[in-house]
Amino acid sequence: MERDYKPEVIEPAIQAAWDDQQIYKTTEDPSRPKFYCLCMFPYPSGKLHMGHVRNYTIGDVISRYMTMQGYNVLQPMGWDAFGMPAENAAIKHELPPAQWTYDNIDHMRSQLKRLGFGYDWDRELATCQPDYYRWEQWLFTRMIEKGLAYRKKARVNWDPVDQTVLANEQVIEGRGWRSGALVEQREIDQWFIRITDYADELLDDLEHVDWPEQVKTMQRNWIGRSQGLEFSFERPGDAPRLEVYTTRPDTIMGITYVAVAAQHPIALEAAESNPEIAAFIESCSQMSVAEADLATAEKRGMDTGQTVIHPFTGKPLPIWIANFVLMDYGSGAVMAVPAHDQRDYEFAKAYGLPIQPVIKPVGDDPSYDLSQAAWCEKTGITVNSGEFDGLNFEQAFQAVAQAIESQGIGRVTTNYRLRDWGVGRQRYWGCPIPVIHTDEGLKPVADDDLPVVLPEDVVVDGSGSPLGQRMDFVETIDPSTGRPARRETDTFDTFMESSWYYARFASAYSNDAMLDTHANYWLPVDLYIGGIEHAILHLLYARFFHKVLRDLDLVTSDEPFKKLLTQGMVLKDGSKMSKSKGNTVDPQELIDRYGADTVRLFTMFAAPPELSLEWSDDGVAGAHRFLKRIHALVQAHVQTGQHSLQGKVDVDGLDESSRDLYRKLHETIAKVSDDLGRRYHFNTAIAAVMELTNQAAKFEATSAEAQRVYSEVIEAIVLLLSPITPHLCESLWEALGHSESLVKVSWPTVNEAALVRNALTLVVQVNGKLRSRIEVAADASQDEILAVARADEQVAKFLEGMIEKKAIVVPQKLVNLVVTPA
RNA sequence: GCCGGUGUGAUGGAAUUGGUAGACAUACCGGACUUAAAAUCCGGAGAGGGUAAACCUCGUGCCGGUUCGAGUCCGGCCACCGGUACCA
C-alpha cells in the first residue's frame, strides 16, 4: 500500500483487475433477485459533460449497493447515436456524420471506463448500427400492418433559402439560424403513429408506476383527457355546417363570435375573394410552429364576413379567423365566450367584440371583474342563459349537452390534448423509414430485405437531404412487380431509437429477433435514471412503444420503467453550463487532477439527485481532502497491526466511549443503507460517514474490546463508501487483509443491540419556544418527563406567574408547555 | 401563454411523518506544527443586543392563514429553472 493517496496509480490498477475478472459481466441467475438499473444513454456529442458524470455516478452507486445487497444487477450502456448535431458537425468540419459519431463514441467510452462505472460492456449498442435499427424498421412495418402507422399532412418550419426543414430550436425569432431567412410554414406528407389509440392506457397505467408525482402530473396534463361537447353550427344558405369542440358547454349562451384557424377551409375560401384575408393568412404562415411562440404571439385576426347561427337563440354570430386557434386540435374552430375564456377575452378586447357574461360566482369574488379579465372558474352559476339559468357547472353541462343532442347536431365526447406522433424527419443522419414508393402506391419493405441501410459515405452541406441525392439509395425495384420504385428518403425521429433500447439491452445477444425470451427475465427496468427534461416526450414515447411491443407478444409487462429517478441539472454560477456562456467544466481535467473517486464523491456530495447541482472547484478539493483523510486513517490502522483483531463485539461489556462509537457506527450503517437503498440521497449518506470518521479519529482505544470496535468501524467506513468511491475502497479493503473484491462482499448489517440508549435528551418548549433541554431515562413515563421539565431551572423562569393550559409530550423528542398569564 | 418544479447562513446543502432551523462540507478567521510556506491537525462562526458568559430578540423569497407548534400544510404574489410535440 502506497504511503500517500495516489489515485492515478490505484485507479487504473483496480480497473485492470475488474477487467481481468470480467466482474461486471451479467447473466441470468434464478437463485438471486434481479435488478435492472438503467441510466438514460448519452448522445455522443464529443466528450462527457458534468450532467453525464452525475447521472452515471448515481446509477453506478445504486448498482453497486444493490449488488452488495445480493441482487443480480444489470447495468448496461450504449449510445443514442442518430441526431442533428452530427449533421451540424459534418457541415462545419466536412466530416461524414458516421465518422464523427464513431470517433466520439470511442472517446466517451474510454471516459466512462476511466470513471470506473460497472457496466456490462458486452451489451453495448449504438443506435446508428444497422444491427440495431433493423429491428426498429421491422417494428415499423408491423405498425403499418396493424394500422398504427399512417400518412397525413403536417406543418413544418421551412427555410426558403437553405431549402430545408428546420427544427423548432433552429428557428430564432422567426428566422432560420443559418440563413437568417424568414421561416415559412409548409404542409408536407408525413408518417404518423397512433399513440392516441393508447391514450387511455397511457393515462390510467400511470397509477401503477413508482414515479415522482410531478412527472406523472406532467404526463397526465400532456395527455389531457377531457369531457366536452362536439357540435356544429348551422350557417345561412347552404353553406356547410361548422364543427366545434368545447369543454365549457355551460357557457354556450355567452358565445359572441366563433374563431377558426388560418388553415381552416372557411378561412381559405374567404381568402379567395378577399386579398386582405389572403394577406393575413399569408402572414400567419410566417411563424414558427412551436407552441410557446403561438401562445405568446400577439392575438390577431380578421372578420370573414361570414356568420353561423346560434343553436338556441337563432341569432347570427360572426366568424373570425384567429391566429391562436390550432388546426391540429379538435376541428380547428372554436366557439368564443370572451367573458369566460382568457384568450377569447383578449381577442374580443382587441377587436371590439361584445363580452356577454353567463356565469356568476356564488357570493363575493374579488377576481370577478370583467373589465379586467375573463372569469374562468367552474364554480359559478349560470345567468343570462334563458332556460339554462341557475345551474352549476355539472348541471349546465348536462342540460346543454342534452339540448344539443336532441337537436341532433352534436354529442358529448372525450377529447385528448395528446396528438399522434409525427415520426418522419427530412434529415440524413437517422434511421431510414423502410418504405418504397411504387406505381402501386406506398409499400413497406419486406422483412427479408431489412435492414434498409443508411449510406455512411456522404457529404453534408446543409441544404436539402443528402439521401435524396444518392441515386444508389433512392432507386430500387418493387420486388412484387419488378418495376422501378423509389425509396423513402425521410428518416425517423430519434425518439424512435430511444423508445426501445432499454429492452434491447436485456436481449443483447439476439441475432434473429428484435427481442427474445431473455428480455422478460430483466424487464421491466427496476430503476431508470435520467434528466427531468425527459419527463414528457421520451418517457411517454417509450411507454407507448412498450405497450406496442406487448401487443406483439415481445414483452410480457405493461410498463417499461417500474421506478423513475429524475436528476436536476449541473449549474455553474447559477446557470446551465454551456459553451456559449463559457462556463463549462470538463470532467476530464478533474479526473486527471484528482482521480475518478474524487469526481464521483463530489458530484454525489454536492446535492441530492433531484436538485440542480451548483458546481464548485473548492468543493472538489474538499472531497479530495476527505479521501486523503480516509486513506491516512486506514493506513495508520493497518500499521498498528490491530486490524487483524477478529471476533464479535460484546455490547454490554464496552466502556462508555467505545459504546458511543459503536452506537454511532450502527446508526451510520442504518442511515447510509436507507439513504442509498430507499431515499437515493447520497449527500446525506456521505455526511453520515464523515461524522463517523470524525468521531473515529478522536477515539482512543484503551482495551482489546475497544480495539475490536475500532476495527469494525474502519472496515465499515470502507464498505459504506465503496459504492461511491470504489477504487480507493477496493485498495483499502485489500490493505485490510481481504483478498476478494468488494463487489462480492455483503453490505454491513445493523446490530440492533448497539442502538439501545439508556438516557434521552428532550427539548422543552414553553409556548412553542425552545427554553431548555432535559435528560430523562429512556423508559420514563409522561408524568415523570413533565415533572422533570417543570422543575428545570430555565423552564421554571418562564412558568412563573403563569397558568399551564396544556402540556404536549412528543415521545423521544420534546415537551411543549402552553401557558397564559395568571 | 400553458404545465411542472425550485427558493434556507458568505457558498453547496441538512432538517425523511407538522416537533431542537443551519447536520456535513466549502470559503473565511484564529491557533498548533514549520526558519517560512504548502500540506496536515485543533478551534470559532446565522443576524442583532449583551464587556463577556449566562441569556434575550429576530430569522427559511414576499404577504396572509391553520396549529400548542410551520422551512414543512393552505390561499395569494415575486424571482429563477425545466418542458411545450422537429434539441436530445
**pLDDT tens digit string along A17-72?**
999 999 999 999 999 999 999 999 999 999 999 999 999 999 999 999 999 999 99
Tell me the nt nearest to A294, Cα to C1'.
B1
pLDDT of residue A580: 61
pLDDT of residue A1: 59
A373 CA, B78 C1': separation in Å? 21
Nearest-angstrom CA–CA distance, A168 and A290: 6
pLDDT of residue A570: 84
C-alpha cell at A478: 418493387
A624 CA, B37 C1': separation in Å? 21
- Measured from Cα to the C1' atom, the residue closest to B67 is A768
Residue A180 C-beta-side C-alpha neighbours within 13 Å: 0
- Strand B closer than 7 Å to the CB of A659? no
- Pick from A739, A748, A747, A714: nearest CA to A631: A714
Residue A79 DSSP one-character state: B
- Strand B closer than 7 Å to the CB of A170? yes
CB within 8 Å of A291: residues ≥ 6 apart = none
pLDDT of residue A585: 79
Angular region, A630: left φ>0, alpha ψ -120 to 50, beta rest:
alpha
- Strand B closer than 7 Å to the CB of A449? no
Angle at A159 between CA A430 and CA A83, to 5 degrees: 20
pLDDT of residue A387: 93
pLDDT of residue A2: 65
- Pick from A222, A230, A160, A585: nearest CA to A413: A230
A 764-793, residues with C-beta < 7 Å of strand B: 765, 767-771, 773
Tell me the nt nearest to A816, Cα to C1'.
B68
A769 CA, B49 C1': separation in Å? 19
Tell me the nt nearest to A224, Cα to C1'.
B3
Angle between helix axes A130-145 and A537-551 (nearest 10 degrees) is: 70
A 498-537, residues with C-beta < 7 Å of strand B: 498, 532-537
- Strand B closer than 7 Å to the CB of A168? yes
A777 CA, B54 C1': separation in Å? 27
- Measured from Cα to the C1' atom, the residue closest to B83 is A533
**Contact, A431 vs A238, CB < 8 A?**
no
Nearest-angstrom CA–CA distance, A17 and A743: 12
Tell me the nt nearest to A421, Cα to C1'.
B85
pLDDT of residue A575: 66
Tell me the nt nearest to A532, Cα to C1'.
B82
Q: Which amino acid is at A186?
A: R
A13 by DSSP, 3-state: which?
helix
A795 CA, B58 C1': separation in Å? 21
A573 CA, B10 C1': separation in Å? 15
CB within 8 Å of A685: residues ≥ 6 apart = A671, A672, A675, A676, A720, A724
C-alpha A704, offset from chain centre: 53
A785 CA, B88 C1': separation in Å? 60
- Strand B closer than 7 Å to the CB of A218? yes
A 543-562, residues with C-beta < 7 Å of strand B: none
C-alpha cell at A1: 500500500
A793 CA, B54 C1': separation in Å? 13
Which run of H or of E encompasses A471?
A: helix A471-474
CA distances from A252 to A163, A304, A325, A379 (A): 46, 22, 18, 16
Tell me the nt nearest to A417, Cα to C1'.
B85
- Pick from A246, A149, A261, A199: nearest CA to A418: A199
CA distances from A648 to A97, A177, A712 (A): 62, 70, 9
- Strand B closer than 7 Å to the CB of A628? yes
For A34, phi then psi, to 5°, come to -90, 155
Nucleotides of chain B touched by protein CB (<7 A): 1-6, 11-16, 19-21, 23-27, 39-42, 55-57, 68-70, 80-88
- Strand B closer than 7 Å to the CB of A664? no
Angle at A250 between CA A248 and CA A253, to 5 degrees: 110
Q: Which amino acid is at A656?
A: E
- Strand B closer than 7 Å to the CB of A49? no
A 256-285, residues with C-beta < 7 Å of strand B: none
- Strand B closer than 7 Å to the CB of A621? yes
A612 CA, B23 C1': separation in Å? 20
C-alpha cell at A249: 358547454
Nearest-angstrom CA–CA distance, A151 and A544: 19
- Strand B closer than 7 Å to the CB of A174? no
A 681-700, residues with C-beta < 7 Å of strand B: 681, 683-684, 686-687, 690-691, 693-694, 697-698
Tell me the nt nearest to A367, Cα to C1'.
B76
Residue A675 DSSP one-character state: I
Residue whose entry in the numeric block shows the C-alpha cell 406487448: A550
**Contact, A786 vs A799, CB < 8 A?**
no
CB within 8 Å of A140: residues ≥ 6 apart = A149, A433, A434, A444, A492, A496
- Strand B closer than 7 Å to the CB of A211? no
Tell me the nt nearest to A222, Cα to C1'.
B3
- Strand B closer than 7 Å to the CB of A355? no
pLDDT of residue A61: 98
A774 CA, B52 C1': separation in Å? 26
Tell me the nt nearest to A797, Cα to C1'.
B55
- Measured from Cα to the C1' atom, the residue closest to B26 is A619
Tell me the nt nearest to A213, Cα to C1'.
B4
The strand ranges marked E within A719-793 are 759-766, 769-777
- Strand B closer than 7 Å to the CB of A296? yes
Bridge partner list, A259: A320, A334
- Strand B closer than 7 Å to the CB of A342? yes
Run means of pLDDT, 10 residues per run, chain A, 822 residues: 85 97 95 97 94 96 98 98 94 91 97 97 98 98 97 92 91 90 91 98 96 95 95 92 93 95 90 93 85 88 94 95 83 91 89 93 78 84 93 94 96 94 96 97 95 92 82 95 96 98 97 95 97 96 98 97 93 68 79 95 95 86 95 91 73 88 96 97 97 93 90 96 98 94 96 90 91 89 92 88 90 91 79
- Strand B closer than 7 Å to the CB of A426? yes
C-alpha cell at A460: 453534408
Q: Which amino acid is at A496?
A: M
Tens of pLDDT, residue by residue over A674-699, are: 999 999 999 999 999 999 999 999 99
A629 CA, B5 C1': separation in Å? 38
- Strand B closer than 7 Å to the CB of A43? yes
Residue A234 DSSP one-character state: B
State ipTM.
0.96
Neighbours of A40 (CB within 10 A): 23
Q: Are strands A525-531 and A561-567 parallel, antiparallel or unpaired?
A: parallel
- Pick from A335, A339, A379: nearest CA to A358: A339
Tell me the nt nearest to A44, Cα to C1'.
B88
Diameter over CA atoms, chain A: 106
Nearest-angstrom CA–CA distance, A434 and A138: 8
**Residues of A551-571 as b/e, b for ≥16 C-beta within 10 angstroms?**
eeebbebebbbbbbbbbbbbb
